[in-house]
Amino acid sequence: MVEKKRGGHDLPGRQSYPALHADLEKLVEILGDHLPSGVISDWKGAIVAAVSNFLPRVSHQRCLTHVVREAKRLLPQNSGFLATSVLRTIAKRLSHISTEEGKRSWLADLIEWERIYGHRLKEKTVNPETGKKWWYTHGNLRRAWRLLTDDWYPFFVHLDHPSIPSSNNSLEGVNSQIKKRLSCHRGMKTLQQVSFLFWYLAFTRTKSKPNLKKLWGCWKQEP
């Protein structure tokens, strides 16, 4: 599983394609034929482009927690505008969809919302002095609608690939722990860091004795 990195090389700041390019290029070289079962990210442009370039055959899930969080920001809970409150309710359901039937129901609700409230997306504010139309009246409503409809297929990759979660929230907690561990061993080279992370993730996620024996047996069979 691959998750986003901020600014590349664990440095704070915006994600940039050159930094992600360098990170993924090195990662793919290290992994060789052992590619991840899937990728999950917040779907920023640089991340999508880098994953498409270096992991074109790996399924890429868009983090639904990020989508719902952004939709809720654009669609205030206490809005008195019915179109906003209805779309917010639809958006909040997204992170709970776990079946194809749920997916179809959610998409049908979006289509129904557009039938009833779609005209609101085209409304423009009128200058009372000149009578000319200014900008779109419901800007955040339009942004929320595009968020939910412009590219919805990556929302449901996890339905076809059960090994891929629908959110990277759990990964963010793991990554914070990894950064703490790596900061204690700053002298390690890249390959040593990769080896350390493999062992760390293996033994923190595989705790029962039967599973540990099974894991060790698989490793012994590796050429």
Domain residues of the chain, as ranges? Answer: 64-154, 185-223
Please give the share of the chain, as a percent, with pLDDT higher than 90: 52
Give pLDDT, residue 158.
Answer: 96
Question: What distance in Å separates the CA atoms of residue 4 and residue 20, rounded to the nearest whole number?
Answer: 9
Task: Confirm if 86 and 79 have CB atoms less than 8 A apart.
Answer: no
* pLDDT at position 7: 37
Of all residues in the chain, what percent carry a pLDDT higher than 70?
89
Which pLDDT score, from 0 to 100, does residue 222 have? Answer: 59
Question: 209 pLDDT band (50/70/90 cuts)?
Answer: confident
Asked if pLDDT for residue 17 goes beyond 90, the answer is: no
Q: What is the mean pLDDT of residues 29-46?
A: 90
> 130 by DSSP, 3-state: which?
coil
What is the enclosing helix (H) or strand (E) of 159?
helix 157-160
Q: Between 38 and 220, name the one with better pLDDT.
A: 38
Candidate ranges 55-69, 177-191, 205-219; pick with highest mean pLDDT: 55-69
pLDDT of residue 107: 98
Average pLDDT rounded to a whole number, residues 106-121: 98
Q: How far is 182 from 198, CA to CA, in rounded Å?
A: 12
Please state, in angstroms and rounded to a whole number, the distance separating the CA atoms of residues 81 and 140.
12
Give residues with Cβ within 8 angstroms of 143, minimum separation 6: 74
Read off the pLDDT band of 10 (50, 70, 90): very low
pLDDT of residue 72: 98
Q: Is a pLDDT exceeding 50 seen at residue 211? A: yes
Q: Determine contact, residues 5/34, Cβ cutoff 8 Å.
A: no
Say whether pLDDT at 4 is over 90.
no
Q: How confident is the model at residue 98 (pLDDT cuts 50, 70, 90)?
A: very high
Residue bearing the bigger pLDDT, 216 or 17: 17
Q: What is the mean pLDDT of residues 115-120?
A: 98
